[in-house]
Structure 1
Amino acid sequence: MNLLFIVIIIPCILAQNWLPYEKKVIYRAPASSMHRPSRDTSTILKTLTANGSIFHDIVVDRSYRGTRSIDDSNAELSSLIKAESKELARRQKFKHGDNPLSIDLWHHHDLGEVKNFIDSVATRNPELAQKFTIGKSSEGRKIAGLKLSKGNEAQKKSIVVMAGAHAREWVTVTAAMGLVLKLLKDKSLIKMFDIYVIPVLNPDGYVYSWETDRLWRKTRSNRNNKLCPGRGVDVNRNFGYNWDSACELCYDEYPGRTPFSEPESINLATFLARLNQSSSISAFFDVHSYGNELLLPGGDCKHKSKLDKVNREASQAFISATTSTFKAGSVCDIVPYTVHGASIDYVQQVLKVPIVMSPELGSYTHGFMPKPEEIYTSVTDFVHGFMAVAKFAFQHNI
């Protein structure tokens, strides 16, 4: 066993330092990353020795794909982060009281700016926009959104857009704000539907990714675990459909101790269930980055089912409206491996929402740190795709 450990395991550890950046990500889970463990090598080796099967599973077992990471000590990645920081310093910050029409869609915006934007939209457009909250995060931050609607038709259906579930996917937040801006300018869709936009589902993680760890993915709930002293749960693995606990505490895709262990996921699920009872939800968008992919329900690869006609046609409407080339299909078709506890499967299978999709905005070129022109392209792609899907839903009375 000791010889096997030296011959097989040690080279695997060392290779993580020697492989060039572009070869470290062998497969790509939706919006996943890898970080170098925050402990030194001797501590890692002690843990591996005491728990021999754990590292074997990480290296070999296909069910642990969520563990691969981008080494954030890598020079190329550090360069991207520095370049992004310089670009952020140039952005037009959205201050309290600013006109929402002036929002800068070429740059990212921190949580304070998002809050200012939501407040400004609601204050300046009381006849069109209403601020709402679905609850609070683990650290007590409000999870806020905007309802956009024109007219009081009793039979009007709803569409829900949620972004910022994964903290590091900043472009999704800008895309959500870009959609709000479009709906304020072109009021045709908010005459057809009540549209609810939640720009940041995971505010704690979002703040942490701005202030401490650019590639942070999860929530910031406290687990108090000695082996893995970090925090957080992947909120998009925490929903109560096809949930699975196999993923270990330290992993980026850790799904939590139980389904809906996180206030972020249970608050969203409760909000959606109540809304679906009072105003039938026609479509749900969970916006992510990156890859220019349009993920549709079907995360259980062991029991694959054909995509229903409505989602297939809606996805084609989305793709036909974008300037970038998107690849559409079920999670299993695109990834391809089983994704447990995802929002889109929960919303379709449990709440029976007919149109459900998860756009992965942006190309692979700069990943989670797109250039300004790439940010703007992602925003416009999402806005145009959303508009096309909403019109499709209205025309087909979905």
Structure 2
Amino acid sequence: MLRYSYVILFLCIYAVVAGKHDVYKGYSVHGIKLTNATHKEFIHSLELELDLDVWQHGTPKLRDAMVMVSRENTVSLMEKLDTMGLDHYVHLRDVAQAFEEHDLEISAWKRGRSNVLPFEDYPRYAEVDAYLEKVAQEHPDIVTLVNAGPSFEGRAIKYVKISTSNFADTSKPIYFLTATVHAREWVVTPAALYMIQRLVDRRPEDQDLLDSMDWIILPMINPDGYEYSHTTMRLWRRTRSFRPEISSSCYGADGNRNYDAAFASVGVSSNPCSDIYPGPSAFSEVETSYVRDIMQANLQRIQIFMDIHSYGNYITYGFGDARLSPNVAQQHHVAAIMGAAIDPYKLPQAPYYVVGNSNLLMYETSGCAQDYAQTIGIPLSYTLELPEYGFDFRVPPSYIGQINSETWHGVAASARAAVLYYRARN
């Protein structure tokens, strides 16, 4: 009888979970092999024409593009790829089923563990908030918790300032790290929290990172979208702002196209329902305005800015329109140091990190955080795309610890390199 009870319980859980992803029924994901820049541009044109959800833009001969397409547009996509002579394959035949199975995997993983810390799991917003409060209470000598203000839906957007001098030693550079502007990129949230934990742990091997640098870490830029991706639409990417004068049915904007850096010039869509809609104006989203304000308030001291995303094993720098900054050699040097520090710790099945200009490596963009930071004078500004070990946005929670650890090695290496450049400049 007990056995049957477990079966019934499992079926009930499965039924509840299954309905959550019905919006993706009929959708599939396809890998596309790119061999030159023309192919990359072709995929971007299809993104707009066929309303594709691009999971990974790909790099010719290095990374396959990954695109999600509706059942209605699948035949058109296949025909266009074949006409272009592009090799392609099915990555996920049924997106809804894939995420149903992932939810069950997460639930089973949670049931098998106790006292899981937020940076070891996929925490919800309330758990992230509680963790930040706890860290500040337990480490008042080095941690200051700041409430930047409410999100569009009223959630407090908090960040920590970590410093041995309470930011009073203005001779020290600042490392500013952000995460979770794109709601569906769940794995970046625990990674950002782990960066905080490593610093407050004050391990001997990390002490120089506190002695030589101050830190600002904002682990969740887009809490509204993040919560929506947990409760309603798993692949939600945008913010959740609502402007009925623009659209009565489409919410939000791409937070990483909303900065005042060549705003809305390339790599965006004017369709307010698109995942790459930049918003009606630069900083129209209150969430990105908080990041701007932090940058502006600390502009003289921020030496390095790092915006964490998922996925693809990339470290990129500006500009998204393929222009290069005057200090591009320094940018590339620090990014290469970071990638080289991560690669020895990666699992064998993961590709090595690729370093370079975001436009040349992946795709054209405008209005992104990395470009804005560079534009206003932050010397070293990057986008970090974490690994996914073949699981796309469905990274099993058992891999979170691995990703956290290898990413920390890269962040630490980039911090040490940034300090050297800061000292040379000052």
User: TM (normalized to structure 2)?
Assistant: 0.73
8 Å Cα contact 1:92-1:104 kept in structure 2: no
Deviation at 1:334, TM superposition (A): 1.2
Structure 1 counterpart of 2:386: 361
Choose which of 101, 118, 132 in structure 2 pairs with 1:83.
101
Q: 1:77 to 1:166 in 2, by over 3 A?
A: same
The whole-number CA distance in structure 2 between the counterparts of 1:252 and 1:131 is 32
Structure 2 counterpart of 1:141: 155
Deviation at 1:397, TM superposition (A): 2.8
Structure 1: which 5+ runs fail to align? 1-15, 28-57
Comparing 240-249 with 379-388, greater Cα deviation is found at 240-249
Structure 1 counterpart of 2:124: 110
Residue 213 of structure 1 pairs with residue 213 of structure 2: no
The letter for the 1-side match of 2:308 is: V
The whole-number CA distance in structure 1 between the counterparts of 2:195 and 2:242 is 33
Report % sequence identity: 26
Residue 282 of structure 1 pairs with residue 303 of structure 2: yes
The letter for the 2-side match of 1:140 is: G
8 Å Cα contact 2:27-2:70 kept in structure 1: no
8 Å Cα contact 1:286-1:358 kept in structure 2: yes
The whole-number CA distance in structure 2 between the counterparts of 1:172 and 1:380 is 12
Structure 2 counterpart of 1:21: 29
The whole-number CA distance in structure 2 between the counterparts of 1:375 and 1:67 is 31
Structure 2: which 5+ runs fail to align? 1-23, 35-41, 54-67, 72-91, 347-351
The whole-number CA distance in structure 2 between the counterparts of 1:259 and 1:65 is 25
Q: Kindly provide the CA deviation profile for residues 108-159 of structure 1, in whole angstroms up to 9, marking residues without a partner as x.
A: 1111110111011001111121111222211121110111111353422211
Q: 1:160 to 1:90 in 2, by over 3 A?
A: farther
SS in structure 2 of the partner of residue 340 of structure 1: coil
8 Å Cα contact 2:225-2:239 kept in structure 1: yes
Question: What pairs up with 1:22-37 in 2 under 5 angstroms?
Answer: 22-23=30-31
Q: 1:65 to 1:370 in 2, by over 3 A?
A: farther
Aligned length: 341
Q: Cα RMSD over matched residues?
A: 3.0
Question: What pairs up with 1:41-190 in 2 under 5 angstroms?
Answer: 61=45, 64=48, 67-69=51-53, 70-71=68-69, 76-90=94-108, 103=117, 105-151=119-165, 152-185=168-201, 186=203, 187-190=207-210
The letter for the 1-side match of 2:236 is: W
SS in structure 1 of the partner of residue 408 of structure 2: helix
Deviation at 1:363, TM superposition (A): 3.0
Structure 1 counterpart of 2:358: 331
Choose which of 370, 374, 381 in structure 1 pairs with 2:406.
381
The whole-number CA distance in structure 2 between the counterparts of 1:124 and 1:190 is 17
Higher strand share: 2
User: TM (normalized to structure 1)?
Assistant: 0.78
8 Å Cα contact 2:320-2:357 kept in structure 1: yes
Structure 1 counterpart of 2:279: 256
The whole-number CA distance in structure 1 between the counterparts of 2:275 and 2:198 is 34
Q: 1:229 to 1:104 in 2, by over 3 A?
A: closer
Residue 266 of structure 1 pairs with residue 289 of structure 2: yes
The whole-number CA distance in structure 2 between the counterparts of 1:374 and 1:254 is 32
Choose which of 359, 373, 383 in structure 2 pairs with 1:347.
373
